[in-house]
Amino acid sequence: MRVVYTITIFVSALLLFLLQPMFARMILPLLGGTPAVWNTAMVFYQSMLLVGYAYAHLTIRWLGARRQAMVHLVVMVLPLVTLPIAVPAGWLPPTEANPAFWVLALLAAAVGLPYFVVSTSSPLLQAWFATAGPRVGSPYTLYAASNLGSMLALLSYPVLLEPYVRLDQQSLLWSIGYGVLVLLALACALVLWRLPVVVPPSGDLAAPSVEQGPTWRQRGRWVLLASVPSSLLLSLTTYVTTDLAAIPLLWVWPLALYLLTFTLVFAARPPLPHWLMVRAMPILVLPLFVTIVAQATQPFGLLLALHLGVFFVVAMVCHGELAADRPAPRYLTEFYLLMSVGGALGGIFNALIAPTIFVTILEYPLALILAALLLPVMTDEATTSMIPRQQRLNDVAMPLGLGLLTSVLIIAGQRFGIVGSTGLMVMLGIPALIGFSFSRRPLRFGLGLLALLVAGALFNPGNGDQIYAQRTFFGVHRVLLEPGGGYHVLVHGNTKHGLQSLDPARQAEPLSYYTTSGPLGQIFAERQDRSDLRVGGVGMGTASMACYARPGQTWTFYEIDPEVIAIARDTDLFTFLSTCLPDALIVPGDARLSLQQTDRIYDLLVLDAYSSDAIPIHLITREALQLYRDRLADDGLLAFHISNRFFDLEPVLAKLADDAGMIAMIRHDLTVTPEQYASGHWPSSWAVLAASEADLGRLRDDPRWRRAVASPQTPLWTDDFASVLSVMK
């Protein structure tokens, strides 16, 4: 019995976590490839998990396991009519409003039913299993098998499926897998129906549990304990991709660790002692908090390891507390239902609420503070000898003192010229040690972290004064006044997207990646003699390209993020548009969708659409290139901005050009002197594609430009097949 149930739960978990990245990959092209798509999708998946667990809990309670199995087999047949999974025709994202709710509606329409049914498998099969009584062992060990299957699916998708299997083939394989799951569920039901009726025991042989049902206090605690790792799961991904680096596939790592913690704590013999995780948590959380307060971004590898390590330990503590407090099997479905309530609440707060109320990724340190407040109490003789009132006073007064000390150190340090993240982290050594002494009292420890966070608001990292900040579905946008006071800089996440000189004599001069002496300047020089030049720009940024415009030319910008358009139009921030091209046509929405809906023809089409360092893959596929060619004049040029810290896009463009019968040339303008950089000339890499060598003009013979090269192993990117792993540096 255990074997067939374990296999079935494993397969259901595998399908559940293959569906998540597969469909997210399908809808990414509709929203410019922004990482927020994944967070919003996670909210949907967590919410559907909640609905599935509620269905499992209520039907088991009302019908009992045997009759419920009959009903559920009928329900499992329903999703077969919706397969294979695909994006429904006619779904286009809004161009003005926040698309988060549109994403949720699309997910509900496309995958709601199959995801709901598969999500019910784990709690239902465990409830069926518990019907056999204590002779078959604890049903909670099946939960470990479920999470192991989820983790394997998650890790295998970017490594084994996405690089080698087209999306339509992935959907077909998933449909076959679902058919296998239905047959396995039928086998489990047959085993259940042949068993003698046994009332589930009031106690779980594998864990210390109360004899009576859970109290409301317990239920509330389960929800809280489940919400913290869920919140951290999303906020960690957002924080690292925004404030450290937009690493490809980063979302895989925290989610894999999240699932691993469930596997470990619900194992028959947990390999990591719970007490060890509890003691390790303050030791790791405090250094991480210091780096957050100091806004540290280097050394990147060490910081990323610290973030992931803290997440793992916090999730182990919270999930370990849940495992230790799990109820008797008769309350199993309610237990999982309340855990899913916590998971959904954490996801909803991070993906839907936090972006509208916070300008920065404040939800991340707040989730860590909540985790600290939920630490198990560790008392000693010094604290137990105090009267409770004195303890409560100390729990508040000591963090206040810590906050005051930290504020004084920060102000004094900056007055004496100690700037930068490293200097601040050194100064915070003493407050951190004091904060560690609070760790035996969860309230005191949590408030101590809050005090560090509040005091940290006084810190200026020295990279410029922030004069504007706004957060949208597409990320955090900031405009900084450079330390020297000579430039305004647009930053998206932690990537600089352009700057403008405040010198009136240079305000119409394209700078950063767009200088006249750089690759883009050369490309414009090949077409600038045409008074009727038609230019299209995909991705707007500061709109520095507008200052290449000449009277009589026609310019169109395509920009997916309404906030970027607002920033470019705000003359208090940037004046490229108002000075050089006040009548430019700006088309909001995804550029590829917008280009499909227009018949405009361009002599030069410039693609510069990036979300921090993430790539909107759907803008560099075979189908996308064909669309661009349809919108180009016969001798038109395609320019691609391919500067990126993590991806080498040259071989991708070379392969696409070869496939389309075009010429692709590259210029890496990477040797920039400190004087050039200070004057606004930043390193950049650009590619230009043309139908023939003659269309390239002087670029063809310029030694700074060379033919783009693709290796035989370079895959041809299409809408159905594109792997970022193949082009990672």
Is pLDDT of 265 > 70?
Answer: yes
Read off the pLDDT of residues 211-225 as tens digits, 9 standing for 90 and up.
567 889 999 999 999
Contact present, 278 and 375 (Cβ < 8 Å):
yes
Domain segments of the chain: what residues?
A: 1-201, 214-376, 383-456, 508-727
- CATH top-level class of 508-727: alpha beta
CA-to-CA distance for 74 and 222, rounded, in angstroms?
32
Q: How much is the pLDDT for 245?
A: 58
Nearest CA among 602, 477, 470 for reference residue 530: 602
CA distance 66 to 677: 72
Binning pLDDT at 50, 70 and 90, where does residue 605 land?
A: very high
Cβ neighbours of 626 (radius 10 Å): 12
Which residues on neighbouring strands pair with residue 689, listed in sequence order? Answer: 638, 664
Q: Which CATH superfamily includes the segment(s) 1-201? A: MFS general substrate transporter like domains (1.20.1250.20)
Mean pLDDT within 422-441: 79
Measured CA to CA, the distance from residue 703 to residue 681 in angstroms comes to 20
Rg (CA), the chain: 28
Which one of 141-150, 186-195, 338-347 scores highest in mean pLDDT?
Answer: 338-347
Please check whether residue 65 is in contact with residue 192, taking contact to mean a CB–CB distance below 8 angstroms: yes
Asked whether the domain spanning 508-727 has the same topology as the one spanning 1-201, the reply is no
- Residue whose token pair is 């910008």: 557
Among 170, 189, 320, 300, which Cα is nearest to 247's? 300
Angle at 105 (CA atoms; ends 100, 108), nearest 5 degrees: 125
Structure tokens at 289: 């908090």
Q: Is the pLDDT of residue 339 over 70?
A: yes
Q: For the segment 462-504, what is each residue's pLDDT rounded down to a tens digit?
A: 566 889 999 888 888 999 998 777 899 998 877 888 999 999 9
Which is more confidently placed, 702 or 384?
Answer: 702
In this prediction, residues 273-280 reach a mean pLDDT of: 92
Residue that wins the pLDDT comparison between 563 and 205: 563
Q: Which of 308, 194, 350, 207 is CA-nearest to residue 265?
A: 207
Query: Residue 466 is inside which H or E element, if any?
Result: strand 465-472
Q: What is the pLDDT of residue 246?
A: 56
Phi, psi of 472, deg, nearest 5: -130, -175
Whether residue 397 contacts residue 364, with contact meaning beta carbons closer than 8 Å, is answered with: no
C-alpha distances (whole Å) from 207 to each of 148, 195, 213, 340, 539 are 20, 25, 15, 21, 56
Q: What confidence score (pLDDT) does residue 136 get?
A: 55
pLDDT greater at residue 10 or residue 647: 10
Residue 694 burial by Cβ neighbours in a 10 Å radius (0-12, 13-18, 19+): exposed
Tens digits of residue pLDDT in 76-107:
999 998 899 998 887 877 766 678 888 899 99
| Report field, pTM of the whole predicted structure over 0.95 | no
Contact 51, 116 (CB under 8 A): yes
Q: What is the mean pLDDT of residues 290-307?
A: 82
Tokens 């009519």: give the residue. 81
Q: What is the mean pLDDT of residues 344-362?
A: 89
Q: Report the DSSP beta bridge partners of residue 668.
A: 685
Q: How far apart are CA 704 and CA 539, in angstroms?
A: 25
Distance CA 612, CA 266 (A): 38
Chain mean position to CA 187: 38
Asked if residue 209 has pLDDT above 50, the reply is no
Concatenated DSSP letters of 52-102: HHHHHHHHHHHHHHHHHHHHHHHHHHGGGGGPSP-PPTT----SSS-THHH
Taking only the tens place, the pLDDT of each residue in 30-49 is 776 666 777 788 888 888 88
Amino acid found at 310 = V
259-263, 301-305, 334-338, 386-390: the lowest-pLDDT one:
386-390
Task: Give the tens place of pLDDT for each residue, 640-662.
Answer: 999 887 788 899 999 999 999 99
Q: Dig out the tokens for 222 from the structure.
A: 């389960």
CB burial readout 366-384, b (16+ within 10 A) else e: bbbbbbbbbbeeeeeeeee
First to last CA, the chain: 48
For the chain, the average pLDDT equals 85
Q: How would residue 297 be classed by pLDDT, with cut points 50, 70 and 90?
A: confident
